[in-house]
Amino acid sequence: QVQMVESGGGLVQPGDSLRLSCAASGLTFSSYIMGWFRRAPGKEREFVARISFNGGSTDYTDSVKGRFTISRDNAKNTVYLQMNSLKPEDTAVYYCAARARGYSRASSDYDYWGQGTQVTVSS
């Protein structure tokens, strides 16, 4: 059974940093493209970032480029999202997701999901 568990969310002030983690089990982690998505209140879930099997390729939505960094540790079956210079508009539930093949920003293309972790940016 595949399990993906996010952690690291919380309440922070604008300009602060957070690092989200997503620990996966029940799958061959290094064979999956990993992504981060988020859902803000009243909005649909949106793509944030994704990383290739070995971490050599990454992709970000424009609103987080230069502030967020996705990385992975295949030895630990974990993907990370380092979030710097956080803004109130980054407030959302953040989800990690796994996709078996092909690069995609579409949430419907991802096979497995975590339960989400809340990130709130407020002064």
Alpha-helix residue ranges (DSSP H) falling in the chain: none
Could you report the per-residue pLDDT of 82-98, keeping only the tens digit for each? 999 999 999 999 999 99
Instruction: Return phi, psi of residue 18, to 5°.
Output: -145, 150
The one-letter code for the residue type at 62 is D
Q: Find the Cα–Cα–Cα–Cα dihedral 25, 26, 31, 32, rounded to 10°.
A: -60
| Contact between 69 and 13 (Cβ < 8 Å) | no
pLDDT at 91: 98
pLDDT at 82: 98
pLDDT at 102: 84
- What are the average pLDDT values for consecutive 10-residue runs of the chain, which has 123 residues? 97 98 97 97 96 95 98 98 98 97 90 97 96
Residues 6+ apart with CB under 8 A from 120: 9, 10, 11, 12, 91
Lookup result for tokens 């029940």 = 26
